[in-house]
Structure formats: C-alpha cells, structure tokens
Amino acid sequence: DTTVKQNPRYKLARVGKPVNLICSQTMNHDTMYWYQKKPNQAPKLLLFYYDKILNREADTFEKFQSSRPNNSFCSLYIGSAGLEYSAMYLCASSRDRREGFNQDTQYFGPGTRLLVL
C-alpha cells in the first residue's frame, strides 16, 4: 500500500483560530514532508521530519509547528490562522531522508484544502 492519507480533505477556519492537519502513511517511511501549494505557484516545502528530527525552512520557522508521535503520523499545526494561510497543504513521505532528496521518490497524499475566512 503506497497510500498517504490526509485529513480532513477540506478545512474552513476563522482568522486567529488554530488549525491542525493530519497525515498518515503505513509504508514505514523514515521521512515525512509538508508542502504549501497556492494557485499558479509551485508547492513550497514547509518542513520535514526525518525519524523524530524536525527540520523547518527558515522562512516558515515561526509560522508552522509539527509533531510526529509515531512513524506513521505527522501533523501540521497553525497556531493562529491568517488569510494568507489559505492554500492546499500536501503531505508526502519517502523511504529515507537522503534518498528522498537525492534519489528516491516522494509519495504524496491528496492534500487538504484550507480556507481561512
């Protein structure tokens, strides 16, 4: 099973409220990633977990939090949503961090579409 699942598929949030998005995979992959995708823009890597080690991009360091309670699950947390957070959020996983960036494929979930009002 090469499926990455994301919940919910659609999320409506109010400005200033928290948002928590969930991702799961059963492939025993070491690395899990979160991307933000806005219309007509490239998917942007926000952060990734290699095993239990979190790596966040410098420009998203303070805007997004994440946790990985076990190998299968990874969450993306926004403490106080702003209008600019409206986007598609894509989760992905790969077998190994080094292979994910240099060699191996990333498996993507279907995404969660977040709309902040």
Partner 1 sequence: GDSVTQTEGQVALSEEDFLTIHCNYSASGYPALFWYVQYPGEGPQFLFRASRDKEKGSSRGFEATYNKETTSFHLQKASVQESDSAVYYCALGEDTGNYKYVFGAGTRLKVIA
Binding site for partner 1 (CB under 8 A): 4, 33, 35, 40-45, 48, 55, 90, 92, 97-98, 100-103, 105-111
Q: How far is the CB of 106 from partner 1 (least distance, A)?
A: 7
CB closer to partner 1 out of 37 and 63: 37
Q: How far is the CB of 20 from partner 1 (least distance, A)?
A: 19
Specify whether the CB–CB gap between 19 and 63 falls below 8 A: no
Query: Cα-Cα-Cα-Cα dihedral of 39, 58, 107, 79, to 10°?
Result: -70
Specify whether the CB–CB gap between 16 and 81 falls below 8 A: yes
Specify whether the CB–CB gap between 49 and 66 falls below 8 A: yes
CB closer to partner 1 out of 90 and 116: 90
Q: How far is the CB of 80 from partner 1 (least distance, A)?
A: 27
CB closer to partner 1 out of 22 and 45: 45
CB closer to partner 1 out of 87 and 90: 90
Nearest to 23 by CA among 67, 79, 54, 55: 67
